[in-house]
Amino acid sequence: MPEVLEAPLVVEFPFTRSLGPVQSAFLTGLRDRVVLGVRTGDGRVLVPPVEYDPVTAEEIGDGGLVEVAPTGTVTTWAWNHAPRRGQPLSTPFAWALVRLDGADTALLHALDAPGPDAVHTGMRVRVRWAEERSGAITDIACFEPYEGEPAEPTGHSGEFADPVTGIVAPARLDYTYSPGRAQSAYLHALAGRRMVGERCPSCRKVYVPPRGACPTCGVATAEQVEVGPRGTVTTFCIVNIKAKNLDIEVPYVYAHIALDGADLALHGRIAGIPYDQVRMGLRVEAVWTEGARHPDHYRPSGEPDADYETYKELL
Ligand SMILES: [Zn+2]
């Protein structure tokens, strides 16, 4: 039995979006400690606001903005006993849907409470504002229990002199990956500078990297087949955006490569040739750097280009 491989993986990118008039007013309102919703054609008030009526699909626009109170009622909730990095509170809290006074729909946010016994549907809560606010949903630090009367709206018109027009929301997936039997064998072979796929016993296709089963036939694959280390570029793209934590100058080429003997293209970076000379049919070979457990990139092998007929089924 080979050792079971495991690696920590992080997928992280900033997601930038423009807001449009309704979301702009909503988030700018939070910055100024005002909660805005929209009124739909049938008179209901939606918080958080939307740009289009969810029933009629008619545009609502910023003409439908209406202020609601920063106090409200919990309509449902779930206890989060182990907060994760980036969540609104670092101590255990409730995720709650809160219908603010004056609204007909509920807003999802954190509710700070000493424990799940202190939370119930129907309990009264109010907004706890963040000390520093920038025009984001986190301007509401959380909700907190509240015993008093419904708060009065301030009478805000929903118009702002310096509205927030965009947000950057960081997206992050942080997980542990274990590749399983087939891919572990593939990775062990790569560390020894061999490329090994698996053949389907039914359709005879060779999958590289192997996944342990044929996705077409639905049967397990076990027969190991050595492929490569040369192959053919079947299709490619030129990357012009520099990735954080990746020490590669742009532009560079990322390609689908059909290794010799494989019936599925894998992807890899192409180097050793100007980016604008990479082409379909280009013959390449894997390059391992000193001590590497997998190929760093692929470079031209010097062979004549492959005929389209030889790889057209692998695009
Ligand atoms: Zn098959």
Give the tens place of pLDDT for each residue, 244-266: 778 889 999 999 999 999 999 99
Minimal CA–CA distance to 10: which of 149, 172, 170?
172
What per-residue confidence (pLDDT) applies to 61? 83
Range of the domain at 274: 228-315
Q: Measured at the alpha carbon of residue 94, what is the angle toward residues 93 and 95, in degrees to the nearest 5?
A: 125
Spacing, Cα 222 to ligand 1 middle (Å): 12
Read off the tokens for 149: 């009367």
Query: What's the Cα-to-Cα distance from 101 to each of 107, 162, 175, 249, 261, rounded to whole Å?
Result: 12, 27, 39, 54, 67
The secondary structure of residue 305, as a DSSP letter, is P
Cα-to-centroid distance, 145 and ligand 1 (Å): 59
- Encode pLDDT of 271-309 as tens digits: 999 999 999 999 999 999 999 999 999 999 999 999 999
Our count of domains for the chain comes to: 3
Q: Are residues 65 and 54 in the same domain?
A: yes
| CA 199 / ligand 1 centre spacing (Å) | 8
Q: Residue 313 carries which DSSP code? A: G
Q: How many Å apart are CA 90 and CA 42, to the nearest integer?
A: 40
Rounded to the nearest integer, the mean pLDDT of the chain is 94
Is 50 within a domain?
Answer: yes
How far is the C-alpha of 12 from the C-alpha of 245, rounded, in Å? Answer: 10
Ligand 1 centroid from CA 210, angstroms: 12
Ligand 1: centre distance to CA 206 (Å): 9
Buried/exposed 179-193: b ≥16 CB within 10 Å, e otherwise: beebbbbbbeebeee
Q: Which two tokens stand for residue 187?
A: 């990775």
Ligand 1 midpoint to CA 220 (Å) = 9
Residues 6+ apart with CB under 8 A from 257: 231, 232, 233, 234, 265, 266, 267, 268, 284, 298
- 207 and 88 within one domain: no
2 occurs within a structural domain: no
Q: Do 163 and 15 have their domain in common?
A: yes
* 193 Cα to the center of ligand 1, angstroms: 26
- 21 and 42 inside one domain: yes
Host H or E run for residue 27: helix 20-31
What is the distance in A from the centroid of ligand 1 to the CA of 197?
Answer: 13
User: What tens digit of pLDDT does each residue of 75-112 get?
Assistant: 999 999 999 988 999 999 999 999 999 999 999 999 99
Predicted local distance difference test score (pLDDT) of residue 63:
84
Instruction: Mark whether 223 and 155 lie in a shared domain.
Output: no
Same domain, 81 and 199: no
79: exposed, middle or buried (C-beta count within 10 Å: 0-12, 13-18, 19+)?
middle
- For the chain, strand residue ranges (E) read 7-18, 35-39, 45-46, 65-68, 71-80, 93-100, 107-111, 124-129, 140-145, 166-177, 195-199, 206-207, 223-227, 230-239, 252-259, 266-270, 283-287, 297-300
Q: Pull the structure tokens for residue 237.
A: 């793209």
Distance in Å, CA 168 to ligand 1 centroid: 44
Is 278 inside any structural domain?
yes
CB 67 within 8 A of CB 154: yes
| Phi, psi (degrees; rounded to nearest 5) at 117 | -70, -20
214 C-alpha to ligand 1 centroid (Å):
5
Residue 2 confidence (pLDDT): 59
Q: Which residue has the tokens 């894997």?
A: 286
4 within some domain? no
Spatial contact of 87 and 109, defined as CB atoms under 8 Å apart? no
Residues 144 and 72 in one domain: yes
In contact, 125 and 143? CB cutoff 8 Å = yes
Nearest to 176 by CA among 300, 20, 7, 36: 7
CA 217 – ligand 1 centroid, Å = 4
Q: What is the pLDDT of residues 8-42, one digit of tens each?
A: 999 888 889 999 999 999 999 999 999 999 999 99
Domain containing 309 — which CATH number? 2.40.50
Q: 200: CA distance to ligand 1 center in Å?
A: 5
Q: How far is the centre of ligand 1, averaged over its atoms, from the C-alpha of 202 (Å)?
A: 5
* CA dist., res. 51 & res. 31, Å (int): 20
